[in-house]
Amino acid sequence: MTELIRNKVYSGDCIEVMQSFPRNSIACCITDPPYNYEFIGHKWDDDEVKRRTERIKDSKTMVKNIPYGSGLAGGVRNKRWYAKNRNNDLEYMAWCEKWGKALFDVCKAGSPVAVFNSNRSIAHVQIALENCGFYTRDILVYRRHSGIPKGLNLQGKLEKLNHPDSKKWEGWHSAFRNEWEAVLIVQKPLLNNYWETLQETGVGVFKTANRDGSFQSNILENLHSKGKEEKFDHCTVKPLGLIKKLIDTLVPLSDDNIILDPFAGSGTTLVAAKDLGFNYVGVEIEENYIPIIENRLKNVHLSLFS
């Protein structure tokens, strides 16, 4: 076990890196790990991202930020297809448990953990983290500004087959238009109650008062806009305003409260934490992303939450 260096981006596998951190040292974790449809049988690194995204860059598909070759892909829905997908779910849950156990050990009692994932696989993450000892508090809905239909357009498919009944199936698809992402909120168990935990560890309760006096719901809206400075060579960057809202809601500002992102990506969680005056720690396995993170952090000017 090594000393935890604040305001540092660690390079490496987050499981191994977190195992070197002191126990009970992290106040809050906000992270966006690879989703299950990004996980199927491949090493998930920068080269793999580029390989998949390049395959569909000039194609007609409307979903170009989700790498090709995922669980969203087609195929004959036979017994083998369903078995493959189920096995992938189990492998994904087992992987989530590995990093979840390492995360549980470094979190303080009452520490909230916010994990982004798709609406199809958030339950797998929830169960995995519960198996690690976390307690589920909620699943927030991050409502994006738009959504794209994914799946089969039955009328279009039948038209290509010159089927005489194609017009009868207008408006029938295999999936809904998806315009939200899930944010799982789990918490390390309290020390008897909220007040005792807050006094001991500095965390445990949520700030639910909005600036207009309303009570914050579990639906996060109007936080989707990205500025020009938020466009990076990374396929799943979350809006800075969204992450700042989560930090402001989940953890009180204190020099003792450290924000962790074990899947730092382009560094948005760390940038948001620094901008709000928090200490932070990030871990990123892809070395090519480290300079992006460090450059963003250098350009942060501390400000009040906005």
Structure pTM? 0.85
- Could you report the per-residue pLDDT of 115-159, keeping only the tens digit for each? 999 888 999 999 999 999 999 999 999 998 666 666 889 999 999
Across the chain, mean pLDDT equals 85
| pLDDT tens column, 17-70 | 999 999 999 999 999 998 876 544 445 455 555 555 555 455 544 344 444 444
**pLDDT surpasses 90 at 293:** yes
pLDDT over 70 percentage in the chain: 79
Range scoring the smallest mean pLDDT among 80-89, 282-291, 295-304: 295-304
pLDDT, tens digit (0-9, with 9 covering 90-100), for 77-98: 899 988 888 888 999 999 999 9
Q: Is the pLDDT of residue 254 over 90?
A: yes
Whether the pLDDT of residue 220 is over 90: the answer is yes
Instruction: Give me the pLDDT at residue 1, please.
Output: 62
Which H, E and C letters describe the chain, residue by residue? CCCCCCCEEEECCHHHHHHCCCCCCECEEEECCCCHHHCCCCCCCHHHHHHHHHHHCCCCCCCCCCCCCCCCCCCCCCHHHHHHHHHHHHHHHHHHHHHHHHHHHHECCCCEEEEEECCCCHHHHHHHHHHCCCEEEEEEEEEEEEEEECCCEHHHHHHHCCCCCHHHHCCCECCCEEEEEEEEEEECCCCCCHHHHHHHHCCCCCCCECCCCCECCCEECCCCCCCHHHCCCCCCCCCHHHHHHHHHHHCCCCCCCEEEECCCCCCHHHHHHHHCCCEEEEEECCHHHHHHHHHHHHCCCCCCCC
> Is the predicted pLDDT of residue 191 greater than 70, yes or no?
yes
Domains of the chain: 8-298 (3.40.50.150)
